[in-house]
Amino acid sequence: MMNDDTGRKRQKYVLYGIDYLGQGKSWPTNCDDGNSSDESNLGYSADMWLDQLTGFIEEVIVPTASSSNKVHLVGNSVGGYLSTILACRHPHLVSSLALMNATPVWGLNLPGWDGRLPAPDQDGGEEKFDTIRNLDVIDKYLEAAYVHREAYDGSFADGIHGYSGDEKGEGGGLPAKIRGCTEGKGGHAAFASILWSPP
What are the distances in angstroms from CA 151 to CA 59, 136, 145, 146, 169?
34, 17, 11, 7, 17
197, containing H or E segment? none
Angle between helices 125-132 and 187-196 (to 10 degrees): 100
Q: Cα separation of 179 and 138, whole Å?
A: 8
Contacts of 6 (CB under 8 A, 6+ apart): none
pTM over 0.95: no
Q: What is the mean pLDDT of each run of 10 residues along the chain (199 residues)?
A: 63 83 77 83 82 94 84 88 93 93 68 72 68 84 79 63 44 73 74 65
Which tens digit of pLDDT belongs to each residue from 12-46? 788 898 888 877 777 777 888 778 888 888 877 78
